[in-house]
Structure 1
Amino acid sequence: MGGTNMKRFTKIICVSLVVLLISSLTVAALAAPKKIVVGVSLLTREHVFYNNIEKSLIARAKKLGVKLIVQDASRDSNKQLSQVQDFITQKVNAIILCPTNSAGSKSMVELANKANIPVFTMDISSDGQTVAHVATDNYKGGELAADYVAKKMLPTHKGEVAIVTYSEVESCVNREKGFKEFLTKNYPDIKVVDVQNCSGDQAKAADVTQNMLVKFPNLQVIFGVGDPFAMGALSAIKAANRNVQVIGFDGNPEGIAEIKSGGLWKADIAQDPAAIGAKTLDAAMDKINGKTVPKLIPIAPKVIDKTNL
């Protein structure tokens, strides 16, 4: 073979190899699975419960190879709506919400549904058509709190109790409802004399408790439907130098510390934020992969007090 022909042959081989390499890379790129992206809008990052949910989501996403985009709605429904709109623009594969307001979240769920993006809720449900809701069995938790009050805090099964609630959030309303209905049915001589809404604000919880202490001099127990609200109630009780017992709901470190100290905060209904976060992401992945997902995935709460800490 002559020198010219040899050069031409070598050039053809090189070009062919380059074409083959480019084709292989293109096929590989097309064959590689696209990474799943899930948008998450939390109610707040100011509450340790949601911090723990976020940690669980991040750990589970790492294990599953999922990309998370986590945003803090800061209890602002307009901000949360904007976050959902951003998720839709980014074409995420699924959206997970801790709604700032159960009724107010319906419109944002509808927007996602129109974009064919499945929506899942954690802790707080939505009035919109979501695929699944993962949360503590809050009604049952309210019943557990009432049962503990009757058996451990008011063993004579008589007395006055009050509730510091969070009326804008359905999960908290269900805790309040479970508590009241259990007492009415099983311990009618324990009277819920007042229910005050703190709108998720610890300082307001202290303010409404202060008013209740003045209004009800024989008040014996306060049920805070969330640990921050129980903490607010406790601060008002201490400031008034009253001997009113407290039971909370969450199982947060500050509540556990108060229970361990042996003071007025006697018990707590503990949630499992790690399970809530992990199971919600698992449900989203099941839906994305074409599996059937239960509409409601309840996480059982439990009572904690000085005997099991």
Structure 2
Amino acid sequence: MICYNTCINQKGVDKYVSAYLVGDPLEFGKKLGNAAADYFIANKIDQPKIAVINCEAFEVCVQRRKGFEEVLKSRVPGAQIVANQEGTVLDKAISVGEKLIISTPDLNAIMGESGGATLGRGKSGT
């Protein structure tokens, strides 16, 4: 087993894990923030409203969002995070994404902190 950023309990690690892959979630979030800022600037959206579908039970996701917000708000000061809701699992992320779209019709973007959150956001119609 190879673990990426987080892993199983220590007993399982000792028995099954042969390697770890560790990324820099803060830096990854900054790259996402730059990409979002590029989009908003190119489209002359100076006060974007952004929702987050999070996986913040895991520290890696908290750090990813911090990097995203840090860069985005430095480049697009009017950017607002208007919602931050849990949706790590695909089915829940789809439901959360749909509710965000309905409840916030002037939403400019939804940021998914994890794979399931991002796929759910896409399948929710955004």
The TM-score by the shorter chain falls in which range?
0.7 to 0.9
CA contact (8 A) 1:41 1:83 kept: no
Residue aligned with 2:57, SS: coil
Q: Does 1:235 pair with 2:120? A: no
Query: Which of 48, 52, 66 matches 1:163?
Result: 52
- What is the deviation of 1:154? 5.0
Partners of 2:124 and 2:80 in 1: CA distance: 21
Match of 2:109? 221
Q: Does residue 143 in structure 1 map to residue 30 in structure 2?
A: yes
Distance 2:91 2:65 in 1: 20
TM-score by length of 2: 0.79
The separation in 1 between residues aligned to 2:116 and 2:76, in whole angstroms, is: 27
Normalised by the length of structure 1, the TM-score is 0.35
* 1:204-283 alignment runs, 5 A limit: 204-237=92-125, 244=126
1:1-309 equivalences under 5 Å are: 40=1, 42=3, 73=8, 80-84=9-13, 87=15, 122=20, 134-153=21-40, 155=42, 156-158=44-46, 159-198=48-87, 200-237=88-125, 244=126
Check whether the contact 1:150–1:157 (CA below 8 A) recurs between aligned residues. no
Larger radius of gyration: 1
* In 2: Cα distance, 1:202 partner to 1:154 partner: 30
1:71-103: CA deviations, max 9, x gaps?
Answer: x95xxxxxx35524x63xxxx9xx56xxxxxxx
Q: Deviations over 1:37-66 (max 9, x none)?
A: xxx474xxxxxxx6xxxxxxxxxxxxxxxx
Whether the aligned pair in 1 keeps the contact of 2:64 and 2:113 (CA below 8 Å) is yes
Unmatched segments (≥5 aa) in structure 2: none
Per the TM alignment, residue 183 of structure 1 is displaced from its structure 2 partner at its CA by: 2.1
Q: Partner letter of residue 112 of structure 2? A: G
Contact conserved, 1:165 with 1:225, CA < 8 A, in 2?
yes
| 2-structure distance, mates of 1:154, 1:222 | 17
| Superimposed CA distance per residue, residues 274-307 of structure 1 (whole angstroms, 9 cap, x where no aligned partner) | xxxxxxxxxxxxxxxxxxxxxxxxxxxxxxxxxx
RMSD over aligned Cα atoms: 2.6
Between the two structures, name the one with larger relative contact order (CA 8 Å, sep ≥ 6): 2
Q: CA deviation at 1:136?
A: 1.7
Contact 1:160 1:221 in 2 (8 A): yes
DSSP-derived class of the 1:218 partner: coil
Identity of aligned residues (%): 22
